[in-house]
Structure 1
Amino acid sequence: MSFITLTTDFGTKDHFVGAVKGAIYSELAEAKIVDITHEISPFNITETAYILKNSYKSFPDGTIHIVGVDSELSEDNKHIAMELDKHFFVCPDNGIISMIASEIKPTKIVEINIHDRVESSFPVLDVFVQVACFIARGGNLTVIGKEITEFKKLIEIQPKVNQAQTQIIGGVVYIDNYGNVITNISKKMFNDIGKGRAYKVTISRYSFKKIYKKYNEIVGNNSEDARQFDGNKLAIFNSAGFLEIAIYRSNLNTVGGASSLLGLEYRDPIIVEFFTETKTEYTLLS
């Protein structure tokens, strides 16, 4: 049985998702289709990259991931199929794969060339489905495209480190369902650059002197009256290993999340500053 995942910005109101699933079953009746999400913000490549990076590894080796965000074919937006980390990705070449491929080198990439036989304004349905089902049957990637070595890389997905190795300059790449603000600074990068030094995290007009290991750590020894901490802001490395700015026990219907309460938005810059000298007011990440 082949697993085929779908990640799109189609939403669920229209016919698009249903049509894609129907086309997959028509081609490959035994396929197992899993929706990662169809609620990507329209055309948001960075958001797609973050969600894809933190979901694909949970699937078995050999899973095929169809990605339908900003997928209309053009001279600047080719279609590619890629084998990477024992998974397959069928997607536009618009930088979506950057966050995954920055750490793991693709085994093989091809530029899909079946468009000569398929005229389509809905390539996810008419092209990506055919390619995914072909791969699921054991087909070789080179049959559906010419092998290439390069793909588009999104510079904004990757944080920068200054020459003195005293700052990481990143940005907001995603705002989750709780209103938490996710940045592109990973715990690995933080530890590799920080090397145990004291630090300060700054985003907009807010600064943080501690990065928590889990959300309820902010309560400390006050568990009997934990409600007094509701609405407090905190910095944490989330389950995906990325630096996140959150509101403790936020409720979007009443209190609001970090994005709305702190006025933080997609692409806002965040800076982690490291200090060589000992600064006892900053708590080190253990």
Structure 2
Amino acid sequence: MSIITLTTDFGTKDHFVGAVKGTIYSELPNARIVDISHHISPFNITETAYILKNAYKSFPEGSIHIIGVDSELNEENKHIALILDNHYFICPDNGVISLLASEIKPEKIVEINIHDRIETSFPVLDVFVKVACHIARGGTLEVIGKTILNFKQLVELQPSVSSDSSTISGNIIYVDNYGNSISNISKKLFQEIGKGRDFEVIANKYSFKKINTKYSDIIDFSVSKEQRQKDGTRLAIFNTANYLEIAMFRSNLNTVGGASSLLGLNYRDVITVKFS
């Protein structure tokens, strides 16, 4: 049976996650449920896409991913189900898929139409779970919705390139558990535009002329420990998801602090790469 994953902004204090899992098990006693995250910042679509984009590829093809962020049904926020990269996604049409599908086109999209039979103020529980269980039993998308060709585009937080290819302008889209600030500038875009040129990364009032591949790259292991870089040294790095990140070496939010707090780099703040 397919794995069903959950990505929500519900947190774990309230009953919501337990109710969703209980309903899935009531319909599919042998279901396999995996929590990707329930600590998405409330209604944060960009953060949702970043986390899910870097998690779903680790699951087997055919996995079913329920996205429960900003999921209330209204005229401007329909519900959709789709096949993307041989995975199923069930989510609101709020732009999250445009960020997930920036490089891969969905194979099929349907607008979910089972709401006529369901009155609900909790669509993740009452609608998304039913759709996920239908798919897990081998059901097709056409049964639960009408085929559509397009989905809502969210381009506000996409990086831009100057007309002369001298500058990439991006934004901080996520602050991780260590307080590191992650931008929407990918390594692929950086290499395509930079073409090996010298560069300067500007984030707030700080400047970086080197991008590391590992956090420990800033350490000179040939010198004594007393002479090495100390915890809290700022650096730029392409992280494991291959996005440009401004980090603090061995950051600890309880002691040293992270890039977000120490450098003032928060969600939506601008980060710029200038090539020479």
User: TM-score interval w.r.t. the shorter chain?
Assistant: over 0.9
- In the TM superposition, 1:176-215 aligns within 5 A as 176-215=176-215
- 8 Å contact 2:220–2:228 — kept in the other structure? no
2:265 is the alignment partner of 1:254: no
- 8 Å contact 1:2–1:63 — kept in the other structure? yes
Cα distance in 2 for residues equivalent to 1:156 and 1:241: 21
Query: What one-letter code is carried by the residue in structure 2 that aligns with 1:70?
Result: D
Cα distance in 2 for residues equivalent to 1:241 and 1:174: 14
Match of 1:37 in 2: 37
- Residue 264 of structure 1: CA displacement? 1.0
Cα distance in 2 for residues equivalent to 1:195 and 1:174: 27
Cα distance in 2 for residues equivalent to 1:228 and 1:57: 35
Query: What one-letter code is carried by the residue in structure 1 that aligns with 2:274?
Result: E
- In the TM superposition, 1:155-170 aligns within 5 A as 155-170=155-170
Match of 2:59 in 1: 59
Query: What one-letter code is carried by the residue in structure 1 that aligns with 2:240?
Result: S
Match of 1:76 in 2: 76
3-state DSSP of counterpart to 2:189: helix
Query: What one-letter code is carried by the residue in structure 1 that aligns with 2:168?
Result: I
Per-residue deviation, residues 28-58 of structure 1 (Å, max 9, x unmatched): 1111000000000001001001001000000
Match of 1:279 in 2: none
Query: 5+ unaligned residues in a row in structure 1: which ranges?
Result: 276-286
Match of 2:140 in 1: 140
Per-residue deviation, residues 76-109 of structure 1 (Å, max 9, x unmatched): 0000001000000000000111222110000000
- 8 Å contact 1:2–1:30 — kept in the other structure? no
Match of 1:91 in 2: 91
- Residue 229 of structure 1: CA displacement? 2.4
Query: 5+ unaligned residues in a row in structure 2: which ranges?
Result: none
- Residue 223 of structure 1: CA displacement? 5.8
Query: What one-letter code is carried by the residue in structure 2 that aligns with 1:231?
Result: G
3-state DSSP of counterpart to 1:128: helix
- Residue 222 of structure 1: CA displacement? 4.5
- Residue 221 of structure 1: CA displacement? 3.4
Cα distance in 1 for residues equivalent to 2:250 and 2:145: 49
When normalised by structure 2's length, the TM-score is 0.98
Relative distance call for 1:103 and 1:223 in structure 2 (3 A) is farther
When normalised by structure 1's length, the TM-score is 0.94
The alignment of Structure 1 onto Structure 2 pairs a total of residues equal to: 275
Cα distance in 1 for residues equivalent to 2:161 and 2:92: 29
Relative distance call for 1:223 and 1:238 in structure 2 (3 A) is farther
Cα distance in 1 for residues equivalent to 2:123 and 2:44: 18
Per-residue deviation, residues 222-262 of structure 1 (Å, max 9, x unmatched): 56317642111000000000000000011110111000001
Relative distance call for 1:267 and 1:208 in structure 2 (3 A) is same
- Residue 162 of structure 1: CA displacement? 1.0
Cα distance in 2 for residues equivalent to 1:21 and 1:155: 33
Q: CA RMSD in A?
A: 1.0
- 8 Å contact 2:218–2:229 — kept in the other structure? no
Match of 2:230 in 1: 229
Query: What one-letter code is carried by the residue in structure 2 that aligns with 1:112?
Result: I
Judge which range, 90-99 or 118-127, deviates more.
Answer: 90-99
- 8 Å contact 2:169–2:270 — kept in the other structure? yes
- Residue 202 of structure 1: CA displacement? 0.4
The runs of at least 4 aligned residues of structure 1 exceeding 4 Å deviation read none
Match of 1:220 in 2: 220
Query: What one-letter code is carried by the residue in structure 2 that aligns with 1:242?
Result: Y
Cα distance in 2 for residues equivalent to 1:259 and 1:232: 13
Match of 1:240 in 2: 241
- 8 Å contact 2:61–2:87 — kept in the other structure? yes
